[in-house]
């Protein structure tokens, strides 16, 4: 796939540039929308991969899948201030545009849309007058711990969808609640976007890939593995027939407690579609295990489809931390 359908014109110098690998970097909404409209007019399909940059192998897997399924792929790189409640958090978020462009191009992207904040929110830092809110889905779990976070996510994604037009949009399942919020927004607003959820990418030791991982020291990274261990412990209980959600959640929390430096926010069993809490597990209802915790001042999230996990692996031997007989 190539971007030669959209050669840069002399009038767009400063707002887009051609880089190695024939990837176009575009900084304005109008130029990006024009390029994607031209692609569709030429009979090409468009794939969109929204990111906040600091690309890693997980992002690249999304781009690779989009490239395999679409004729032109655009990767968006924008650290969205509306979804950060903590000024320190956004200030410390890694920004690596040069390497992001290189990785995106290698993975198959034809365009990188990397707008400045003023392009997305012209009046910023004044409050944005029009925002998008998905009631219910964004209110609990991450939404409860980070008030306004999903309003910020929904607003920026809606703007990106408005710019992109009809396309397929690729999101990782690692941010499972975000994926659910985006799917509901698209459905409720009848947007011409097909949402593609892609499996969480992990390092060999099980740690879910995240741009925030670069902020962990080697010791903190080792400690952070307790999140995936906790999820696997919950999945192992379910595989053995445990159907009481509270028992599973308590067992997951006890696994996390084995690492005293980890501050657990939640470990939950939820309905996979609307993220409502589950009291008991039924074989005909899809569920998801969610977890969030802070390690060394870095907030990390993870999740697992316990049935898919159990189908792929033989459950490990029962340990004292996950033995339901020891839970009252």
d(CA 294, CA 188): 33
CB 292 within 8 A of CB 174: no
Q: Where among 175, 198, 221 does a domain terminate?
A: 198
Q: Where among 154, 172, 198 does a domain terminate?
A: 198
Determine how many CB atoms are found less than 10 A away from the CB of residue 328: 5
pLDDT at residue 312 in the model = 72
Band (21; pLDDT cuts 50, 70, 90): low
Residue 203 lies in a domain: no
pLDDT at residue 193 in the model = 98
The answer to whether residues 58 and 138 belong to one domain is yes
**Among 154-168, 254-268, 301-315, where is mean pLDDT lowest?**
301-315
CB 244 within 8 A of CB 327: no
Residue 170 lies in a domain: yes
Q: Is 59 a catalytic residue?
A: yes
Tell me the CATH number at 55: 3.40.50.620
H or E segment to which residue 255 belongs: helix 245-257
Residue 328 lies in a domain: no
Count: domains in the chain: 2
Flag whether pLDDT at 317 surpasses 90: no
CB 76 within 8 A of CB 51: yes
d(CA 81, CA 92): 12
Residue 287 lies in a domain: yes
Which of 35, 33, 29, 27 has the alpha carbon at shortest distance from 3? 35
pLDDT at residue 1 in the model = 39
Band (16; pLDDT cuts 50, 70, 90): low
Band (17; pLDDT cuts 50, 70, 90): low
Range of the domain at 103: 5-198
DSSP state of 87: H
Tell me the CATH number at 215: 3.30.1300.10
pLDDT at residue 143 in the model = 92
pLDDT at residue 87 in the model = 87
d(CA 328, CA 316): 23
pLDDT at residue 115 in the model = 98
Residue 49 lies in a domain: yes
Determine how many CB atoms are found less than 10 A away from the CB of residue 293: 22
Band (313; pLDDT cuts 50, 70, 90): low
The answer to whether residues 188 and 217 belong to one domain is no
The pair of structure tokens assigned to 1 is 């796939």
The answer to whether residues 42 and 129 belong to one domain is yes
Catalytic residue among 56, 59, 149, 309: 59
Residue 25 lies in a domain: yes
**Start-to-end CA span in the chain (Å):** 59
Flag whether pLDDT at 41 surpasses 70: yes
Quote the mean pLDDT of the chain.
90
Residue 313 lies in a domain: no
d(CA 63, CA 102): 12
The answer to whether residues 245 and 282 belong to one domain is yes
> pLDDT of 189-247, one tens digit each?
999 999 999 999 999 999 999 999 999 999 999 999 999 999 999 999 999 999 999 99
Residue 55 lies in a domain: yes
Q: Where among 148, 176, 198 does a domain terminate?
A: 198
The answer to whether residues 180 and 300 belong to one domain is no
């Amino acid at each position: 796939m190539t971007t030669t359908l959209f050669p840069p014109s002399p009038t767009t110098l400063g707002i887009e540039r051609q880089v190695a690998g024939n990837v176009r970097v575009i900084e304005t909404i109008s130029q990006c929308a024009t390029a994607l409209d031209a692609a569709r007019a030429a009979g090409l399909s468009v794939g969109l991969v929204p990111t906040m940059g600091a690309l890693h192998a997980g992002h690249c897997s999304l781009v690779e899948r989009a490239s395999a399924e679409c004729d032109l792929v655009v990767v968006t790189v924008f650290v969205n201030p509306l979804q950060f409640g903590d000024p320190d958090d956004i200030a410390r978020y890694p920004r690596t545009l040069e390497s992001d462009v290189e990785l995106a191009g290698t993975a198959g992207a034809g365009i990188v849309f990397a707008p400045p904040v003023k392009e997305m929110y012209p009046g910023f830092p004044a409050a944005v007058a029009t925002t998008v809110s998905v009631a219910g889905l964004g209110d609990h779990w991450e939404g409860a711990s980070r008030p306004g976070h999903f309003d910020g996510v929904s607003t920026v994604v809606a703007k990106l969808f408005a710019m992109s037009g009809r396309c397929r949009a690729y999101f990782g399942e690692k941010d499972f609640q975000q994926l659910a919020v985006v799917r509901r927004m698209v459905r409720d607003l009848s947007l011409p976007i097909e949402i593609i959820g892609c499996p969480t990418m992990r390092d060999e030791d099980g740690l879910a890939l995240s741009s925030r991982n670069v902020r962990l020291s080697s010791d903190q990274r080792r400690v952070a593995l307790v999140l995936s261990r906790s999820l696997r412990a919950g999945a192992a209980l379910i595989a053995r027939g445990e159907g009481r959600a509270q028992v599973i959640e308590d067992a997951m929390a006890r696994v996390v407690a084995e690492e005293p430096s980890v501050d657990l926010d939640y470990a939950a069993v939820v309905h996979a579609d609307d993220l409502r809490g589950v009291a008991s597990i039924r074989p005909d209802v899809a569920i998801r295990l969610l977890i969030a915790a802070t390690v060394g001042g870095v907030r990390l999230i993870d999740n697992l489809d316990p049935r898919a996990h159990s189908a792929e692996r033989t459950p490990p031997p029962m340990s004292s931390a996950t033995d339901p007989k020891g839970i009252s």
